[in-house]
Amino acid sequence: MDFSIIQPLLDGINYKAYVVGFSIAVYFFEQYLNLRQYRRYLLTERPSDLADIVSQEDFAKAQSYNLEKSQFGFIENAYKQIETVAMLSLDFLPFIWDFSGRLMLSVAAYGPEYEIVQSIVFTILFSTISTLSSMPFSLYSTFVIEQRHGFNKQTLGLFFMDAIKSHIIMVVIMVPFLGGFLRIIRSTGDNFYLYIWVAMLLFQFVMINLYPTLIQPLFNKLTPLEDGDLKSKIEALAARINFPLKKLYVIDGSKRSSHSNAYFYGFGKNKHIVLFDTLIDHSSEEEICAVLAHELGHWAMSHTLRILASSQMYLFLVFWLFSFAIHSEHLYHDFGFSTMPTLIGFLLFQFAFSPLDSVINFLMHVYQRKNEFEADAYALKLGYAATLRSALIKLSIKNLGGFNIDPWYSAWNHSHPSLTERLKALGVEPTSDTPITQEETKKEQ
């Protein structure tokens, strides 16, 4: 890559001012969108378009839950923004980098020539600080907000055990990965982005296969779905569309939360479907099949593969653009670094890349929302329109989902359409003039 062509242009940028300024601009833009949504949560009477979807009582419960989350979000977002601006303005990153070097030298007598080791130490320190910084917000969200509204099932011991496990797993995976990542860049010259992209692709495929078998069992228990009508109906649905179902599992999601979900994983003819136990408890067998028909619609229309391909194109773009910035002394010096470590360069580049990243994320949301409508339409073609409608409503009521969503807020933040948008697209009229309630959901079980 001929970096000399673009270097004069890049050297004319004040990177720190640019990154801090853009970060503040995005913060205020997102808070404006959050405020638009917050005003929706203040409404006490359900809009007319929700009259046949949710009762006034359940609407009030959902409004209360989401209003509290929104209020807390303003505080958390403000703190994170102050933290980010302070970290960049006060040269906190160079401080942690230099401290990593001193720590490495005192413990193992390794000097600055061991850049990969220092990068690993820096990453562990930085991730630990970030985890501790966000811990109070996670605790309040889990043990105050989620607890108050009946969702949290965790104990403090389980919460901290999860945090410790996650950090240990991160270190175990990150050390060899980061070492290989930096070594490839150092040894493959200016075309390193090609090799890094291939290495990242292989790493992702390995992790996709290892996560459900080695990592997830450390947090949740997966048990085979028992023989019975539900299993027979799901197997019949899979056979109907030639979905290569290998195994059906139930995951103990209720161990931590009463929120519910379902998903599938695996490549080729090795597909597995996982149902949250909370989904089974809160939905009828036909509604569970309707939810799975939607999920299988993503498979049938190759949405998963297309998103995977899109993410690979995104990664290639990131690594290719980084190849222009990796040699920019100006980029490092603007953020207070006197040396040019590769890891730091990639981290700083991601800060500089954030405007384009925001646009790409928005476009991905647009694309994913389109996929959700298509998956709903697929379930409709399979004859699950009415049951999918009732399942979506029940899940929204049980999860206290936001029923009254601002379109601007949703477009920027959500990869899924709102409940009312999905129901309108399904085009199925309610089977009763009376909306489904939580009490009726319980009586069906």
Q: What is the pLDDT of residues 202-238, one digit of tens each?
A: 998 888 878 888 888 888 888 888 989 999 999 999 9
- CATH class of segment(s) 224-282: alpha beta
Residue 5 has a pLDDT of: 55
Q: What is the DSSP letter of 212?
A: I
Of 295, 329, 406, 444, catalytic = 295
Do residues 343 and 122 make contact, with C-beta atoms less than 8 angstroms apart?
yes
What is the average pLDDT across 327-331?
A: 87
Q: Kindly tell me if the per-residue pLDDT of 2 is higher than 60.
A: no
Summarize pLDDT for 86-96 with one digit per residue, the tens. 999 999 999 99
**Are residues 307 and 320 in contact, defined by beta-carbon separation less than 8 angstroms?**
no
Q: How far is CA 287 from CA 245, 290, 332, 379, 394, in A?
A: 19, 5, 55, 11, 9
Q: What is the average pLDDT score of the chain?
A: 88
Residue 372 marked ligand-binding:
yes
Amino acid at 427: G
Q: Is 291 helix (H, G, I), strand (E, B) or coil?
A: helix
pLDDT score, position 10: 60
> How far apart are alpha carbons 248 and 141 in whole angstroms?
32
CB contact at 8 A, 26 and 85 = no
Determine the 3-state secondary structure of 271 from DSSP: strand
Mean pLDDT of 98-102: 94
9: pLDDT confidence band, cut at 50, 70 and 90?
A: low
Going 101 to 105 to 106 to 108, the CA torsion angle's sign is positive
Cα–Cα distance for residue pair 398/393, rounded to 1 Å: 9
> What is the mean pLDDT of the segment spanning 109-136?
92
Which pLDDT tens digit goes with each residue over 126-145?
999 999 999 999 999 999 99
Instruction: Check pLDDT > 60 for residue 435.
Output: no
- pLDDT the model gives residue 265: 80
Q: Is position 162 annotated as part of the catalytic site?
A: no
**Given its phi and psi angles, is residue 292 left (phi above 0), alpha (psi -120 to 50 degrees) or beta?**
alpha
% of the chain with per-residue pLDDT over 90:
55
What was the pLDDT predicted at 315?
Answer: 93
User: Once rounded to an integer, what is the mean pLDDT over residues 265-291?
Assistant: 85
The tokens for 75 are 């505080």
Contact 253, 260 (CB under 8 A): yes
* Residue 12, pLDDT score: 67
Least confident of 63-72, 104-113, 265-274, 417-426: 265-274
Q: Is it the case that residue 1 has pLDDT exceeding 60?
A: no
**For residue 366, how many other CB atoms are within 10 A of its CB?**
11
Q: Can you tell me the mean pLDDT for 340-357?
A: 91
* Among 376, 433, 439, 440, the one annotated catalytic: 376
- The domain locations on the chain are 3-220+297-443, 224-282
Distance CA 326, CA 210 (A): 32
What integer pLDDT is reported at residue 6 of this predicted model?
A: 56
pLDDT in tens, 64-77: 999 999 999 999 99
Is residue 329 part of the annotated active site? The answer reads: no
**pTM of the prediction?**
0.84
pLDDT of residue 432: 47
